[in-house]
Amino acid sequence: MAHVLPAVAVTPAIAEASKRKSRVAYFLLIPGLAWLAIFFVVPLVTLFMTSLQTESVTSPGKYVPGLQLSNYTDALAEYWPQFLRSFLYAGLATGFALLIAYPLAYFIAFKAGNWRSLMLVLVVAPSFASFLLRTYAWKTILADDGPVTSTLNSLHLLPDGRILNTGIAVVAGLTYNFLPFMVLPLYASLDKIDYRLIEAGNDLYGSPQQVFRKVTWPLSLPGVVAGTLLTFIPAAGDFINAELLGSTKDKMIGNVIQTNFIEFRDYPTASALSFALMTVILVMVLSYIRRSGTEDLV
């Protein structure tokens, strides 16, 4: 056993070195943590404190620090329809985005060949124009006298006779605006699939449909989860689409928060709504991730 001794003698030095290495790794975290602390944690705490402020007794219209929990109940009691509508619109947009993005990502990953890079650039290309501008463009596209509306009208497919200023336009805008966030994670996870697995599925008596259901789809789930989250979360909090493409009946929670902040200057209500939105989304996301069991997937 004599030859073991040198190894024992060396160990403390190695331990020292690896400890130093891990300390260096922590130093690397500092800029990121500092950024998060200043621009995320501090505003979050401020927002939370604001959401509990009470109206000043001496000067109405001003708010002072307090513990007004009724800010939450009042806000939710008044604005629950917008809350529900936000989740409905975001959910629909996410669903449509998935339906459009999956075949597209599948094509790019497996069939595009040399066109792959170009197609990926085209997916991202709209982002070079501003979000606001693109949404304005949809106003023109869906305008009452525009080609889309008149075509659908001549086929008697529109119950209200119009698209602009309806929920349809809002959902369409949301779907369009967040589509790249669905395509890219889906593409990344489809592209990672070893094509031989699909061949193996075919070889083992799986028809193309069966192989898709049993091999391709489960292996692409991480992309589906990432894509739906990246689409749903910003869509649920969005206000530009509802503002530009919807009517007053199609307002989402983002519009309410924005109006309360900017127009009514009712900061506690706006903050309470923001916080409630964040909490609901967080709870939904966590249960979604747990149910889809992504931590189990490769």
The residues that touch another protein, with contacts defined as CB under 8 A, are: 194, 196-197, 199-208, 210-211, 214-215, 218-219, 297-298
**Euclidean distance between CA atoms 94 and 89, whole angstroms:** 8
In the bound complex, what is the minimum distance in angstroms from residue 292's beta carbon to another protein? 13
Residue 80 vs 217, nearer CB to another protein: 217
Residue 69 vs 197, nearer CB to another protein: 197
In the bound complex, what is the minimum distance in angstroms from residue 191's beta carbon to another protein? 15
In the bound complex, what is the minimum distance in angstroms from residue 294's beta carbon to another protein? 11
Residue 171 vs 219, nearer CB to another protein: 219
In the bound complex, what is the minimum distance in angstroms from residue 199's beta carbon to another protein? 5
Residue in the structure block whose two tokens are 């789930």:
221
Cα dihedral 218, 219, 220, 226 in deg (nearest 10) = 90
Task: Count other C-beta atoms under 10 Å from residue 141's C-beta.
Answer: 18
Residue ranges of alpha helices (H) inside 125-166 are 131-141, 147-154
In the bound complex, what is the minimum distance in angstroms from residue 210's beta carbon to another protein? 6
Residue 209 vs 248, nearer CB to another protein: 209
**Euclidean distance between CA atoms 54 and 52, whole angstroms:** 7
Tokens of 143: 């305008």
Phi, psi of 55 (to 5 degrees): -70, 135
Task: Count other C-beta atoms under 10 Å from residue 286's C-beta.
Answer: 10
Q: Kindly state the DSSP code that residue 144 receives in the 8-state scheme.
A: T
Residue 10 vs 200, nearer CB to another protein: 200
Residue 43 vs 293, nearer CB to another protein: 293
In the bound complex, what is the minimum distance in angstroms from residue 113's beta carbon to another protein? 15
Contact 289, 225 (CB under 8 A): yes
In the bound complex, what is the minimum distance in angstroms from residue 223's beta carbon to another protein? 13
**Euclidean distance between CA atoms 288 and 221, whole angstroms:** 12
| One-character DSSP codes across 11-30 | HHHHHHHHHHHHHHHHHHHH
Residue 52 vs 198, nearer CB to another protein: 198
Residue 163 vs 198, nearer CB to another protein: 198
Contacts of 291 (CB under 8 A, 6+ apart): none
Q: How far, rounded to the nearest angstrom, does the alpha carbon of residue 242 sit from its chain's CA centroid?
A: 17
**Euclidean distance between CA atoms 154 and 184, whole angstroms:** 36
Contact 116, 108 (CB under 8 A): yes
In the bound complex, what is the minimum distance in angstroms from residue 201's beta carbon to another protein? 7
